[in-house]
Structure 1
Amino acid sequence: MIRKAHAVWRGTGRDGNGELTTDSGVLSETPYSYKTRFESERGTNPEELIAAAHAGCFTMALAFQLQAAGFTPTELSTEAAVSLDPDGQGFKISKSALTLRAQVPGLDQAKFDELARNAEQNCPVSKLLKAGITLDATLG
């Protein structure tokens, strides 16, 4: 299975702007720019999208972990806070901090901790954040 997103950018890094589109259509020419990334202009940014992906992936992975262990959550609510920090002349994403609040009837703390830790370590987005990246670049 392959999921795709497409980015288009016009202009310089600080004064330019772009749009993000996903194959599903959830994002369709959604604006992003320096101002949506580093200031508070309306639009999105890569870190926000990574945070959404990580929160969603982890929460679904935990739901599967709980199901396999015989538990049904009433609610799993996860926030992912992705940090973008200075790195020399540029920036780096330094961490993704997950905060989970869960309601799971009949589950004790030790088992909850085990399942949550396993979901964090094994959800595909957590693995990606620790994985290598490939690039195929062509100048037309």
Structure 2
Amino acid sequence: MPAKGHAEWNGDLKSGSGTFTAGDSIDGAFSFKSRFEEGPGANPEQLIGAAHAACFSMAFSNALSEAGHVPDSVVTDAVVTLRLLDDGPTITKIALTTTGKVPGIEDAQFQEIAAAAKAGCPVSKALAGVGEITLEATLAS
């Protein structure tokens, strides 16, 4: 099933503004200030972070289940770092932080499965050009 996204930008970079739609129901506004400063609105990096967190959570849950440890929950946050480099704005790091409530699993196996899920999730693969993608995985009791 193809996933849809749409965006429109009006005006120049610094004073213009844009809107986006993800799928049929997620939408928002973005601007230079929301992306490069601390202005109101969304930005593409937030969408990338949400996509990565969602994809990883699903992949991790699936891998845990396939290993015989169906999770009660997997909660993931993603922090996407955008830096201005010599060749322009670049996503330099994505830090994934996940907590899984998984009955009957030892931490070593939990960590091994988490690392494999990070490497194998489709969004991680799509973001392979990002210099650093880290993962901090915590097994909740």
TM-score (norm: length of structure 1):
0.86
**What SS class does the counterpart of residue 26 from structure 2 fall into?**
coil
CA distance in 2, matches of 1:5, 1:46: 11
Residue 43 of structure 1 corresponds to 41
Identity %: 43
Greater strand fraction, Structure 1 or Structure 2? 2
Runs of 4+ with deviation above 4 angstroms = none
**What SS class does the counterpart of residue 51 from structure 1 fall into?**
helix
- Name which of structure 1's ranges 65-74 and 119-128 shifts more when overlaid on structure 2: 65-74
1:128-139 matched pairs, under 5 angstroms: 128-130=126-128
For residue 61 of structure 2, the aligned residue among 60, 63, 67 is: 63
1:85 aligns with 2:79: no
1:41-75 deviations in Å (ceiling 9; x for gaps): 32110111100000110011001001111112122
CA distance in 1, matches of 2:26, 2:84: 30
For residue 108 of structure 2, the aligned residue among 107, 110, 115 is: 110
Residue 134 of structure 1 corresponds to none
Query: 1:89–1:16: structure 2 CA closer, same or farther, 3 Å change rule?
Result: farther
**What SS class does the counterpart of residue 42 from structure 1 fall into?**
coil
Matched to 1:101, the amino acid is: T
Residue 97 of structure 1 corresponds to 95
Query: 1:36–1:102: structure 2 CA closer, same or farther, 3 Å change rule?
Result: same
TM-score (norm: length of structure 2):
0.86
**RMSD, aligned α-carbons:** 1.3
Q: How many residues align?
A: 129
CA distance in 2, matches of 1:120, 1:89: 28
For residue 76 of structure 1, the aligned residue among 56, 74, 77 is: 74
1:89 positional shift: 5.3
CA distance in 2, matches of 1:58, 1:23: 19
**Where does the alignment leave 5 or more consecutive residues of structure 2 unmatched?**
130-141
**What SS class does the counterpart of residue 59 from structure 1 fall into?**
helix
